Amino acid sequence: MNSKVVLVTLIAFLASISGCLTGAIDDKGMMIDERGVEVPTERVLTIVTYDIYGLTSERIMEFTNQTGIKVEMIKLGDAGAILNHLLQTKEAPQADLALGLDNTYLQQAIDRNVIQSHGANISNVMESAWLPYNGTMAVPFDQGSICLNYDTNSINSSQGRDVPTSLWNLSEEAWKGKVAIPSPVTSSPGRAFMIATTDYFANDDDETTNWTDWWSAMVDNDVIITSGWTEAYETHYSGGYGVWNDDHIGDANFVVSYCHSPGVEAYWADNYTISTSLTLDRASFHQVEYATVVNGTANAEYADLFIEYLLTEDVNLNMPIENSMYSVLIDSGLPADNGYLYHSELPSLNAQVSPEEIAENMDSWLAAWEAAMV
Amino acid sequence: MACSLGGCNGLKRKFENIEVALPFFLFSALVIIPLLLALDRLIYVSGKMPWQVFSSLDEHYLSQDAIGFTFLQALLSTALTLAIGIPIAWQLGRYHWPRIRLMRALLTLPFVTPAIVAAMGFMAILGSDGFDLRGERSTYLVSLLFAHAWFNIALVIRFVDPVISNLDPRMEEQLRLLPAGNSRWGRLRCFWIPLMFPSILCAAVLTFVFSFTSFAMVRWMTPSNATLETVMADVGGAAGIENYQIYSNELVLASSTIQFLVLILALWLLSALQAKRSRTIAEVSESHSRKKGRTGWLVLIPALLFCLSPLMAVIRSSLRVAERGPVISHRWTLEGWQSAISGDYAYISIIDALQNSLGYAILTLVISLPLGWSLSSGIHLLEKRGSYWAKPLDILTMLPLAISGVMLGLGILLGIIRISTVFFTMWWMPAIPHIMLSTPFVVRLLLPAMRRQDPELIENAQVLAMNRWQILTKIRMPLLRGPLIVAGIIAIAMSMGEFGASWILVRTGAWDTLPVLVDQLMTRPGFDPLVKPTAMAAASLLMLTTLILFLVAERFRPDGDGGMF
């Protein structure tokens, strides 16, 4: 829009409501001009996404230069907002491709028929990225595990602050008010961590308590619940880059983030970080983010081309730097520069919860979580 | 064909009635229809009426204390605003100061500063690279109160200062001769307090309204506390979808209903107070009434520092980048500005976002100024006729002030879902709430000016056989040139700084306005140290643009203007 908005605001406004700017489009996708002659239309791919940091205007231009397809972006808050948008516009879809639905939302999108099978030629995605879902409705484009991170400076055995060996340790007096978690109602990482706790406590030795008991115990221990990841990590976490920010409090020694967040910290701070991850078995959630073709789009072909572009080595191998996430390409890994790889721990066993289970139980889990917290 | 005098008058009256009714119909359609459609959608999806969902706010973790916190912060903000604002207004109104126009402009500048910029400014002052007071969560509420006071002291100045500065000094002299006027306390109790009270209450009511619906400042400055406005913003995205997160619909319905009722009550109170306030006593030009100030600088210098320091802090932060390592330090650099201009950290650059903001602002101006003029003319005409419709229509034009930015954005979003989702792709959609929010400001600026116009001028023009168009272009508009320019610039500034509704409605990345871009940059993970200075550079550009517009507007503001803004 830009300068066009400034210059032709009124003209375009009047023209758009009178319909005189647009001609009819025939079934071949060609526009019929006033003389009835077919002229090629501008090829436009509309992507609905959240703020995926790797998709800079430079990357988008590169795709346009390669394919001649112009890209328009509908930018929303997070994965949940993408699903909301797809549901709200189901009758008249506004986008051709959705980027950023993860495996906590994917099944709902499938069940509610807002996405369709893709036709992209994919052969270079590693096996682990297909683990949560391996059908034709979604293509993984990045991944990472969500788990607790902690400030290593806060560990002090003489004060009873040992590295936790169970999530129950965090409900003890030593960590009172020292854990920050984004709300599962309003945050995707928060939702993923809540899902992990359902599996963690379903598989622990204690048969007398369940996951909601842990959340209630955390409320009693003054857990800090935030509306989003940014506030939990930047404002409350004492071990992250937030200490350089104006809005930093630093009252939490533990925070829910990605298990490789300490690696990202180190990469941007010349191999310096005091943060590390707590990779207890089943207390982490393997998150995969997907590219999905919007159901009913007339531009599925363009969407497929973009998916293939997203999975080229040039774009996808840069995910760790440009999007702070793991690549999904076979044999890819994290860069060793500045301690990125060294400080990024991989959990040995993530929570084992399928997208079907998530879709089936999410509403009741959220209701149970609310009941445990209020 | 000639007509009888009575017939012509009847025809003229009918024409005037249509002329009055049309803008009100358009305005009502713009404001009320989306909200009614949204309400209908929320009731349909949730299956409940508004009064059945109030308890849902207490049943959910994220909205548990929202009602209490909303009232608490709004009431405390109002009290603090009055405590800071009244001494400033007193000094400005009562005493003679050099460069008073500039000083007044600087002291009222915060009101048109985009709230998101103000929030960034306060956090920069209080943060680790400033006074380092953000480390304690207990400081959050206090800092929010000061930020709201900073934002709203302009209202106290605008309402109270003209009452004092235009007062005929002979009244006070006469009072001194009476027993009650002998002592300072007596004069305060029997004269100044009754004189200023309606104006102070007007400022208090509006401060309460703006604090009650504050969004950007609460979102950033007290992240641990929810208000009704932030609850709506948090869950509103999932509202309106059948069989999906029904609680979102209930929370939005409950929050918006409570907010609407409270704000309607406040605006009714404001309207009653303004009527009382308009029964003023004899006024003179302010230059006649001023005395030399002596100790007032002790109030005005800190006030100027208070008003300008958050703005300076934003610019300073755009030039500082963190040096990551064991020791917390920052260095001076222009890299933040460079990356903001090149668009390295966002889908669009700040220059593109500025163009978008200006585009929406121009569209807002083009519609809200003529609409505001027509509404003001209509009310003024009805007032002259003594019609009982004048008052209700006057209140109707203030209705958008009772509907917060987030409510408007959600109303339009849900209204669109009811009509056609194709509107999601229309780039002009985000301009609708800008028009709705700025039109009341245009009316508040033009209507008092129209009331002040000498009716004999129009009558003389009619005697000279000037037609309606000639009267409009040769008499009325030139005489109202000042208020028209001020209203136009304020409309542009309001549009440029609007955040709540844009945050909900701006869908396509290419439409991002400057406030939306600032928020996007501030919410992205800041592992890369350049992200924050980039956001601050965008905030600085937004602030400087607004500052220039406001200073231009001040040049055209009539003396003794006691309007809201």
Distance, in Å, from the CA atom of B28 to the CA atom of B22, rounded to the nearest integer, reads 10
Distance, in Å, from the CA atom of B26 to the CA atom of B18, rounded to the nearest integer, reads 12
Rounded (10°) CA dihedral B503, B403, B310, B102: 120
- Residue A147, classified by CB atoms within 10 Å of its CB into exposed (0-12), middle (13-18) or buried (19+), is buried
Return the residue in B41, B365, B424, B429 with the most chain A beta carbons within 10 A, the one to mutate for interface testing: B424
Q: Are A326 and A320 in contact (CB under 8 A)?
A: yes
Determine how β-strand A30-32 pairs with β-strand A24-25: antiparallel
Lowest-confidence segment of A108-117, B249-258, B453-462 by average pLDDT: B453-462
Determine how β-strand A44-50 pairs with β-strand A70-76: parallel
In a domain, B322, yes or no: yes
Return the residue in A44, A75, A270, A318 with the most chain B beta carbons within 10 A, the one to mutate for interface testing: A75
A13, A72, A248 ranked by CB distance to B510: nearest: A72
Query: Of chain B residues 27-56, which have a CB less than 8 A from chain A?
Result: none
Rounded (10°) CA dihedral A353, A354, A359, A361: -40
- pLDDT in the model for residue A325: 94
More confident site: B482 or B534: B534
A91, A186, A224 ranked by CB distance to B62: nearest: A186
Q: Are A47 and A74 in contact (CB under 8 A)?
A: yes
Q: Are A72 and A98 in contact (CB under 8 A)?
A: no
In a domain, B324, yes or no: yes
Instruction: Determine whether the interchain pair A56/B317 forms a contact, defined as Cβ–Cβ distance below 8 Å.
Output: no
**Which residues have C-beta within 8 Å of that of residue B403, sequence separation ≥ 6?**
B31, B35, B260, B263, B411, B436
A5, A53, A76 ranked by CB distance to B359: nearest: A5
Written as one letter, the residue type at B337 is W
User: Which residues of chain A does B220 touch, with a Cβ-Cβ cutoff of 8 Å?
Assistant: 247
Lowest-confidence segment of A142-156, B67-81, B377-391 by average pLDDT: B377-391
Number of structural domains (chain B) is 1
**Which residues have C-beta within 8 Å of that of residue A278, sequence separation ≥ 6?**
A147, A148, A149, A150, A163, A164, A254
Written as one letter, the residue type at A82 is I
User: Which residues of chain B does A91 touch, with a Cβ-Cβ cutoff of 8 Å?
Assistant: 421
From B113, B237, B520, select the one nearest A88 (Cα to Cα): B237
- Residue A18, classified by CB atoms within 10 Å of its CB into exposed (0-12), middle (13-18) or buried (19+), is exposed
In a domain, B52, yes or no: yes
Name the H helices within B279-296. 286-289
Calculate mean pLDDT across residues B341-369. 88
User: Which residues of chain B does A224 touch, with a Cβ-Cβ cutoff of 8 Å?
Assistant: 224
Residue B395: its H or E element:
helix B390-398
In a domain, B487, yes or no: yes
User: Which residues of chain A does B235 touch, with a Cβ-Cβ cutoff of 8 Å?
Assistant: 185-186
- Residue B471's CATH number: 1.10.3720.10
**First-to-last C-alpha distance (Å) of chain B:** 48
Q: What percent of chain B has pLDDT over 90?
A: 27
Q: B290 falls in which pLDDT band (50, 70, 90)?
A: low
Size of interface A-B (CB pairs under 8 A): 194
B131 touches chain A (CB under 8 A): no
Three-point CA angle B464, B469, B474, nearest 5°: 65
**d(CA B273, nearest CA chain A) in Å:** 39
**d(CA B464, nearest CA chain A) in Å:** 36
Q: What percent of chain B has pLDDT over 70?
A: 91
> Which string of DSSP letters, residue by residue, matches B154-219?
HHHHHHHHHHHHTB-HHHHHHHHHSGGGSSHHHHIIIIIHHHHHHHHHHHHHHHHHHHHT--HHHH
Determine how β-strand B95-96 pairs with β-strand A285-294: unpaired
Q: Give the CA count within 13 Å in the CB-facing half-sphere of A156.
A: 7
Distance, in Å, from the CA atom of A154 to the CA atom of A147, rounded to the nearest integer, reads 18
B92 touches chain A (CB under 8 A): no
A183, A228, A268 ranked by CB distance to B529: nearest: A268
Q: Are A47 and A99 in contact (CB under 8 A)?
A: yes
A226, A243, A264 ranked by CB distance to B328: nearest: A243
Three-point CA angle B278, B284, B290, nearest 5°: 115
User: Which residues of chain B does A264 touch, with a Cβ-Cβ cutoff of 8 Å?
Assistant: 525, 527
Task: Say what the ipTM of the complex is.
Answer: 0.77
In this structure, which topology does domain A145-286+335-373 adopt according to CATH? Answer: D-Maltodextrin-Binding Protein; domain 2 (3.40.190)
In a domain, B28, yes or no: no
Neighbours of B259 (CB within 10 A): 24
- pLDDT in the model for residue A36: 58
Q: B145 falls in which pLDDT band (50, 70, 90)?
A: very high
- pLDDT in the model for residue B66: 94
Mean pLDDT of successive 10-residue segments in chain A (374 residues)?
44 37 46 54 87 76 93 84 89 91 94 96 94 95 97 93 96 96 92 97 90 97 92 92 84 96 94 96 96 96 97 94 93 93 95 93 92 90
Can you give the residue ranges of every domain in chain A?
1-41, 43-144+287-322, 145-286+335-373
Q: Are B235 and B410 in contact (CB under 8 A)?
A: no
Strongest mean pLDDT among B99-103, B125-129, B149-153, B271-275: B149-153
Residue with tokens 């009331």: B451
**Which residues have C-beta within 8 Å of that of residue A226, sequence separation ≥ 6?**
A180, A181, A182, A183, A187, A232, A235, A236, B223, B224
B123, B520, B529 ranked by CB distance to A247: nearest: B123
Distance, in Å, from the CA atom of A59 to the CA atom of A321, rounded to the nearest integer, reads 14
In a domain, B290, yes or no: no
Q: Give the CA count within 13 Å in the CB-facing half-sphere of B175.
A: 17
Residue with tokens 């009452």: B163
Rounded (10°) CA dihedral A68, A72, A77, A78: -30
For residue B508, the enclosing domain spans: 33-280+299-556
Q: Determine phi and psi for A288, rounding to 5 degrees.
A: -120, 135
**Which residues have C-beta within 8 Å of that of residue B261, sequence separation ≥ 6?**
none
- pLDDT in the model for residue B293: 67
Distance, in Å, from the CA atom of B236 to the CA atom of B413, rounded to the nearest integer, reads 10
User: Which residues of chain A does B532 touch, with a Cβ-Cβ cutoff of 8 Å?
Assistant: 245
Instruction: Determine whether the interchain pair B421/A89 forms a contact, defined as Cβ–Cβ distance below 8 Å.
Output: yes
Query: Of chain B residues 266-305, which have a CB less than 8 A from chain A?
Result: none
Distance, in Å, from the CA atom of B536 to the CA atom of B541, rounded to the nearest integer, reads 9
Return the residue in A60, A216, A246 with the most chain B beta carbons within 10 A, the one to mutate for interface testing: A246
Q: B149 falls in which pLDDT band (50, 70, 90)?
A: very high
**d(CA B411, nearest CA chain A) in Å:** 14
B358 touches chain A (CB under 8 A): yes
Rounded (10°) CA dihedral B201, B202, B208, B210: -160
Three-point CA angle A333, A335, A339, nearest 5°: 125
Distance, in Å, from the CA atom of B330 to the CA atom of B324, rounded to the nearest integer, reads 8
In a domain, B144, yes or no: yes
Neighbours of B287 (CB within 10 A): 11
In a domain, B193, yes or no: yes
For B231, nearest residue in chain A (alpha carbons):
A227
Distance, in Å, from the CA atom of A86 to the CA atom of B395, rounded to the nearest integer, reads 39
SS3 A200: helix
Neighbours of B142 (CB within 10 A): 16
Instruction: Determine whether the interchain pair A81/B60 forms a contact, defined as Cβ–Cβ distance below 8 Å.
Output: no
- pLDDT in the model for residue B4: 53
Distance, in Å, from the CA atom of A269 to the CA atom of A271, rounded to the nearest integer, reads 6
CATH code given to domain A43-144+287-322: 3.40.190.10
Query: Of chain B residues 205-234, which have a CB less than 8 A from chain A?
Result: 220, 223-224, 226, 230, 234
Return the residue in A88, A324, A363 with the most chain B beta carbons within 10 A, the one to mutate for interface testing: A88
Instruction: Determine whether the interchain pair A13/B363 forms a contact, defined as Cβ–Cβ distance below 8 Å.
Output: yes
